[in-house]
A and B are shown apart, each in its own frame.
Chain A
Amino acid sequence: MRFGSLIFRNVLRRKLRSSLTIFAVAIAVGSVVALVGIANGFKDSFMEFYQGVDIDMVVVRSGSQRRLTSTLDESLSTKIAALPGVKEAVGGLADVVSFPDVNLFVVPVSGLPTDTTVFDHFHILEGARISDPAKPFVMLGTTLADTLEKKVGQTVEVVEEEPFEVVAIFESDNVLENGSMIVSLPQLQRIMGREGQISGVSIVFEDGVTPEQTDEISAAIHKMESGLSARTTQEHVESLSEIQVAVAMAWLTSTVAILIGSLGTLNTMFMSIQERTPEIGILKAIGWERPRIVAMILGESILLSLMGGIVGTLAAIALVQVLTKMPAVNGLIQGQISGAILVQAFVVAAVVGLLGGLVPAITASRLAPTVALKQ
């Protein structure tokens, strides 16, 4: 028999209690995997959105609570396009619309200039890209088209009583785009009552722009107007308040779940050592030193937690897969759980085991053999 076998048998001794503890830890770990995974997937979607079209820098209104819908003057993009090192500056308007009839409440809609190269990365599955910015044409991402059950030639009310003709259905490598719709910039400005406004400028640099030149471009943009934020794509995505809130909420919820998991493990381990006090007494009587008793009890709690970690991770992966298929989510999140999240999940499981097992383990190791044997 190995030391590990002893730990394993001790965990199996009270099957129901161990199962409940595993369940509590599974909730903690599952929360981390699902919530943090979704939040990070959300961030990755944004990152891919910009990287997919080779966007190097994003300009939005600084300090805006919701940068996705910040407001800038349309003329800014022309000024930025004239800066040295800038290949293209695309002023776009972003907003969200909803389709309550099909349970879609957050559908991103982009208003873009029709002559921009940004359109080039969309893989048109059906129809053709918007050619006339003055007409109410819409391009639907493939996921959105499926959910709305729309085909080229049919109409969609982007907002109430504003029918747009579907001219194309496109596919992108990015799940966020697949669940979105695109109209021309003037059309979105019109229906949203935001004439002359854009929410941001996406900048594509010329080839070979150095970090120093990037800083110069950024400084030049800041001089154009006060209250502008010009950040590289990565900085921009990480600073989006929506994403920061999503990640923070995910960790906050997970922290509560981790505390519950730890308390569950703590309770289980205390009950376990109370039941086994005479047994711990005999271990001390026959010469087990304190670190070995600590190792045994901690080993049991960490084993319970890791089992919870496995159950929680599998459940979370399944849950995320189910969520990504729900229409209400509409492709906003990615189904993949990254390796980094899985590593975090198992670190969380180990920490839950350590937190829940350390105090009972030390308590057990401090039991005087004569006192323990009397019980």
Chain B
Amino acid sequence: MNDQSTTDTDILIRAEDVTKNYPDGDVPALRGVSLSVRRGEYVVIMGPSGSGKSTLLNLLGALDTPSSGEVYFEERSITSIHPLSKLRSDKIGFVFQSFHLIPTLTAVENVQIPMFVKGWSAHRRTELATELIETVGMSHRVNHFPNKLSVGERQRVALARALANDPVALLGDEPTGNLDTKTGNDVLDLFDRLHKQGGKTLVIITHSPEVALRADRVVHIRDGRIERED
């Protein structure tokens, strides 16, 4: 455990003065960012391209480690957690702009992929995945392959996959970036429902002001620093 003076049981993820330098990058992607996300909070990160918002999301989601500073998840420094994959599998769900579904697997099979690490039986995996497919309103497309689904439907399946292991936090990197307005709003409605009814903590990157309107808090980032919070 880390410095207990900063402990707040409501805080789920906390970045403390983090920087990130990439070996091939001319300038630091992040230059000392501190940000706390409370349990059950809906946070949107906005900023221009190259501002460092994806890098910050990767650090908050334990996909990467900072060059300096610390990221805490449930007040444990992510650099002290081994393997980090276990934290991601147990606590965090990711949704990306490009859905990255496996083309040879049906919708329900794609949702089962994260469940393999749990050691559940094939029957239990299928049952849970079918329930999750229903949750995202795709029960009529359970056995369809990704190439037979619309982009909105693919993102719904990707969202169901993110929910596979019942994570406390859902992190989205422009999850509506490839969707038209109506389809995007449908997906955002789903996020809202998961936040309000399911109690999920949401951290979403977006360029869309409409998405920002749905959030509890909007963090603006520019040139690797937090510019302001609304």
Contact surface of A with B, Cβ cutoff 8 Å = 1-3, 5-6, 9-10, 12-13, 278-279, 281-290, 292, 368-370, 373
Contacts of B90 in A (CB 8 A): 287
Interface string of B87-125 (1 = CB under 8 A from A): 111100110101010111100010011101100001001
Tell me, yes or no, whether B58 is within 8 Å of chain A by CB: yes
List, sorted by A's number, 10 A–B pairs whose CB atoms are closer than 8 Å. Answer: A1-B126, A2-B122, A3-B116, A6-B105, A279-B100, A284-B63, A286-B94, A287-B85, A369-B64, A373-B63
A-B CB contacts (within 8 Å), total count: 76
- Distance to closest chain B CB from A349 (angstroms): 24
Which residues of chain B from 54 to 72 have a CB within 8 Å of any chain A CB? Answer: 58, 61, 63-64
Main secondary structure of the interface of B (DSSP, over half): helix
CA A282 to CA B89, docked complex, whole Å: 11
A286 and B161 form a contact (CB under 8 A): yes
Q: Is the CB of B117 within 8 A of A1?
A: no
Whether A289 contacts B105 by the Cβ 8 Å rule is: no
The answer on a CB contact under 8 Å between A370 and B58 is yes
Q: Which residue of A lies closest to B106 (CB)?
A: A1
Cα A369 to Cα B87 in complex, Å, equals 14
Cβ contact within 8 Å between A288 and B85: yes
Question: Which residue of A278, A287, A292, A369 has the most chain B CB atoms within 10 A of its CB atom?
Answer: A287
On whether the beta carbons of B63 and A292 are closer than 8 Å, the reply is no
In the bound complex, what is the Cα–Cα distance between A290 and B85 (angstroms)? 9
Which of B58, B63, B87 has the most chain A CB atoms closer than 10 A to its own CB? B63
0 or 1 for each of B120-140: is its CB under 8 Å from A? (1 = yes): 001001100000000000000
Given A287-B86, A287-B88, A292-B117, are A282 and B100 also a contact pair (CB < 8 Å)?
Answer: yes
B165 lies within 8 A of chain A by Cβ: yes
Which of B87, B98, B104, B113 is within 8 Å of A12, CB to CB? B104
Given contacts A3-B116, A6-B113, A287-B117, 17 further A-B contacts (CB under 8 A): A1-B109, A1-B125, A1-B126, A2-B122, A5-B109, A10-B104, A13-B104, A278-B100, A282-B100, A283-B113, A285-B63, A286-B114, A286-B164, A287-B89, A292-B117, A369-B63, A370-B64
Contact with A along B151-170 (1 / 0, CB 8 A): 00000000001101100000
B94 nearest in chain A by CB position: A285
Docked CA distance A12–B122 (Å): 21
Q: Does B83 contact A (CB under 8 A)?
A: yes
Docked-complex contact B89 and A9, CB < 8 angstroms: no
Residues of the B chain whose Cβ atoms lie less than 8 Å from the Cβ of A2: 122
What is the CA–CA distance of A282 and B171 in the complex, to the nearest angstrom?
Answer: 13
Q: Check B100 against A9 for contact (C-beta < 8 Å).
A: no
Known interface pairs A6-B105, A286-B161; A292-B116 also in contact (CB < 8 Å): yes
Question: If the complex has contacts A12-B104, A287-B117, A289-B85, are A282 and B96 also in contact, measured as CB distance less than 8 A?
Answer: yes
Assembled-state Cα–Cα distance A10/B88 (Å) = 24
Nearest-CB residue, chain A, relative to B173: A373
Residues on the A chain within 8 Å of B89, using CB: 286-288
- Counting from the closest, the 10 A-B pairs by CB-CB distance are A287-B89, A282-B100, A9-B104, A286-B114, A287-B88, A1-B109, A289-B85, A370-B64, A287-B85, A369-B63
Q: Please pick, from B85, B86, B103, the residue contacting A284 in the complex, using a CB distance under 8 A.
A: B85
- CB pair B126–A373 under 8 Å, yes or no, is no
A281 and B117: CB pair below 8 A?
Answer: no
- Flag if A373 contacts B117 (CB, 8 Å): no
B154 to chain A, nearest CB (A): 13
Residue of B whose beta carbon sits closest to that of A289: B85
In the complex, how many angstroms separate the beta carbon of B56 from the nearest chain A beta carbon? Answer: 12
